[in-house]
Amino acid sequence: MTQDSRLLWFLRTYYFRYHRAHCVITTVMALLLGVVSTLFAAALGPAIYGTVFAEPTATIALVDLLGKNYAAAAQTLLGISSISATLLTLYLPFFILACAAVRSGLTVGHVFMWERCGERVARRLRTQLVHAFLALDPQQRSQKKNFSTQKKT
């Protein structure tokens, strides 16, 4: 076991175990962030196609817009197999804005929760260090040792 892996095992065992729920919630937020980012990226292609290439009166099949796999999911959720270019141009920008808002909210929450967890672990480490220092004999505390001149064996 290397030095780094021992340190990670130590931190995970003694400090992050108190924040397991916090870490699980943050990981779920990261997975949701990936799903929303995928939806956002999948919606950009149809937005460009619907606004640039399609005529306003045309009816566009979901298979042409989203592909075979995404179209099956969209047909199940929406209950339609095609959409008019006018409706696509009308509603898709709002869908993209909603995806972007949810994505930014998940990003802020994800970063905040990891920072909070890290700060809690750091606070616990600092507290334990202060308690260990205060529990030390005052004479040993005041002795100055020069560690740089000692030989390493």
pTM: 0.64
51-65: average pLDDT? 79
% the chain with pLDDT above 90 = 8
> Does position 50 have pLDDT exceeding 80, yes or no?
no
DSSP secondary structure string for all residues of 28-87:
HHHHHHHHHHHHHHHHHHHHHIIIIIS-TT-EEEHHHHH-HHHHHHHHHHH--SEEEHHH
87 vs 66: CA distance, rounded Å: 16
pLDDT band at 54 (very low <50, low <70, confident <90, very high): confident
**Residue 68, pLDDT score:** 84
More confident residue, 15 or 79: 79
**Residue 41, pLDDT score:** 80
Q: Where are the domains of the chain?
A: 19-137
pLDDT band at 105 (very low <50, low <70, confident <90, very high): very high
68 vs 86: CA distance, rounded Å: 22
35 vs 99: CA distance, rounded Å: 10
**Residue 141, pLDDT score:** 66
12-36: average pLDDT? 82
> Does position 132 have pLDDT exceeding 70, yes or no?
yes
For residue 48, give both structure tokens.
């460009």
